[in-house]
Amino acid sequence: MDSILAMITDFKIPQFAAAGCPVQVLGREVQSSGRLNGQVRRLRADIGYIFQQFNLVNRLSVLDNVLLGCLGRMPRWRGSLALFNNEEKQRAMAALERVGLADLAAQRASTLSGGQQQRVAIARALTQRAEVILADEPIASLDPESARRVMEILADINRRDGKTVVVTLHQVDYAVRYCPRAVALKSGRIHFDGLAQDLSKQFLNDLYGADADASLMITERSRRVRQKASLTLAKV
């Protein structure tokens, strides 16, 4: 799944590129036949990426890391000199306020916990004003409470801001709780594309075998929670 996210952002050219299969995002062609769109920098400005390992600059402050989300829409000369204007700084602080970290704006990023660093990464995507947010296993290295908070923030961004949020997860119980739509892949092929609540344990066992119990377990608690959930995390 991470390869699919990389293709969307042009970090990777797909093997089928030579066949002329285009990759489109927001109705715009990102790449076709192995060639990148000439406006790729502008396209990337509309795509936010949240990494499993956060990808923050540890020596910079929390606020400076969030301000990096502005670079894709800034003139290069201003970005290279880190000349952020007041509107950009206010936007970054508002994003930090939204993820609950405004009081840590001046703190060095390396001093934060994993959950806090991931929330900084989300604030960076908000500051970027991305129309699509791709999150590559954003909770894989987090404790349960931090994972819950990260998923709630991503779901709120989708619901309140109307942004498309695509999340790769191994924890199906989180997918059922926060994502009405689920896509299950195996060996690069789509084996399921539908409502997350329709992902049965039997189907997962048939698809993934022993790995289903280890990383794709649906709990009874998840089944109860999903009856109350009405969030749309990934737009169709």
* Domains, the chain, ordered by start: 1-44 (no CATH), 49-168 (3.40.50.300), 171-236 (no CATH)
Q: What HEC string does the chain produce? A: CHHHHHHHCCCCCCHHHHHCCCEEECCEEEEECCEECCCHHHHHCCEEEECCCCCCCCCCEHHHHHHHHHHHHCCHHHHHCCCCCHHHHHHHHHHHHHCCCHHHCCCEHHHCCHHHHHHHHHHHHHHHCCCEEEEECCCCCCCHHHHHHHHHHHHHHHHHHCCEEEEECCCHHHHHHHCCEEEEEECCEEEEEEEHHHCCHHHHHHHHCHHHHHHCCCCHHHHHHHCCCCCCCCCC
Which percentage of the chain shows pLDDT scores above 70?
A: 74
* pLDDT tens profile 49-89: 999 899 999 999 999 999 999 998 888 899 889 899 999 99
Residues 222-231 have a mean pLDDT of 36
**More confident call, 10 vs 186:** 186
**More confident call, 27 vs 161:** 161
Predicted local distance difference test score (pLDDT) of residue 5: 72
Q: Which of the given ranges, 43-47, 96-100, 184-188, 230-234, has the highest pLDDT on average?
A: 96-100
Q: Is 228 a residue whose pLDDT tops 50?
A: no
pLDDT averaged over every residue in the chain: 80
Token look-up 């109350």 returns: 228
Predicted local distance difference test score (pLDDT) of residue 157: 94
- CA angle, 89 then 93 then 96, to 5°: 140
Distance CA 149, CA 176 (A): 16
Q: Is 39 a residue whose pLDDT tops 80?
A: no
pLDDT band at 226 (very low <50, low <70, confident <90, very high): very low
Predicted local distance difference test score (pLDDT) of residue 144: 93
